[in-house]
Amino acid sequence: MLIDTHCHLDYLPLSPRLPEILMSASSSGIDRFIVPGVEPQSWERIISLSRKDERIFAAPGVHPMHADRWNSEAAEFLQRLVPEIVAVGEIGLDYLDGMPPRELQQAVFRAQLKIAKGAGLPVIIHCRKAFADLLRILLEESAGPVQGVMHAFSGSVEIARECIARGLKIGVAGPVTWNNAVKPVKVVQEIPLHHLLLETDSPDIPPEPHRGEVNEPAFLVEIARKVAEIKGITVEEVAGVSTESAKALFSRQSAR
């Protein structure tokens, strides 16, 4: 059994084909799905998916690219959702060109970290080209370890180790399977399996041999296979360990 720890099932073009997509995932052995939010308008959708299907778990949050949609109303809304969610996500920093101002992203990230911490919930972190600021903010906002995952981790082995030292798991997504992959392969090589979580980030970043297609949770097996190949172990071992880590992190799901 595998858990897709990051898939946007509420998004086009996945949402209209959801029954078919879940069926195909289930025949590939993927039968739990963590669905992060990206902005308040999407939260209703992911909550209603999680209410309708016990395999789906909601992780609402405001993505750094939507930092300007965070306000006191969103904070109250998120707080109200706490009893039925498994994490706050996806939150973080994205310093690619065209993203909201860094100061705004940082403030919105801090506010959501506080809510997650107060609620005892883990965080799903999105970080691009902002690792130094991210690690500094995590340190400032939390004296102890931070429960969470660095989703679709794109950094180096050294940064992965720093994240793990802060308590975080490392999310492995499609890029590890790509023919030109270097950094993600090194990360999987060097980081012990029990620190890794598997995710598709569907409908984006499909793994080989599905590049150019719409990504979907069934393709998670390609990522599990690649991790097994890199580590020289069986897919069953990868599935067993990563599923246990995912259950432990998003523990409210195993209670259900």
Residues contributing to the site for Zn ion (CB under 5 A): 201
Closest distance between Zn ion and the C-beta of residue 154, in Å? 12
Question: Whose Cβ is closer to Zn ion: residue 90's or residue 222's?
Answer: 90
**CA proximity to 111, closest of 63, 87, 75, 144:** 75
- Name the β-bridge partners of 58: 35
Looking up tokens 């599923």 gives 243
Residue 75 vs residues 58, 175, 210, 254: alpha-carbon distances, Å:
16, 33, 38, 27
Nearest residue to the partner Zn ion, using Cβ: 201
Question: Whose Cβ is closer to Zn ion: residue 170's or residue 228's?
Answer: 170
Rounded to a whole number of angstroms, the CA Rg of the chain reads 17
Question: Whose Cβ is closer to Zn ion: residue 151's or residue 226's?
Answer: 151
Question: Whose Cβ is closer to Zn ion: residue 10's or residue 201's?
Answer: 201
- For 176, other C-beta atoms within 10 Å of its C-beta total 25
Closest distance between Zn ion and the C-beta of residue 144, in Å? 26
Closest distance between Zn ion and the C-beta of residue 233, in Å? 27
Question: Whose Cβ is closer to Zn ion: residue 94's or residue 222's?
Answer: 94
SS3 248: helix
Question: Whose Cβ is closer to Zn ion: residue 8's or residue 195's?
Answer: 8
Closest distance between Zn ion and the C-beta of residue 10, in Å? 11
Question: Which residues, in sequence order, are CB contacts of 132 under 8 Å at separation 6+?
Answer: none
Question: Whose Cβ is closer to Zn ion: residue 154's or residue 229's?
Answer: 154
Closest distance between Zn ion and the C-beta of residue 12, in Å? 14
Closest distance between Zn ion and the C-beta of residue 201, in Å? 5
**Residue 212 burial by Cβ neighbours in a 10 Å radius (0-12, 13-18, 19+):** exposed
Structure letter (DSSP) for residue 7 = B
Q: Using CA atoms, how far apart are residues 152 and 176, in angstroms rounded to an integer?
A: 10
Positions of E strands within the chain:
2-4, 30-36, 56-59, 88-94, 123-128, 148-150, 169-172, 196-198
Closest distance between Zn ion and the C-beta of residue 237, in Å? 27
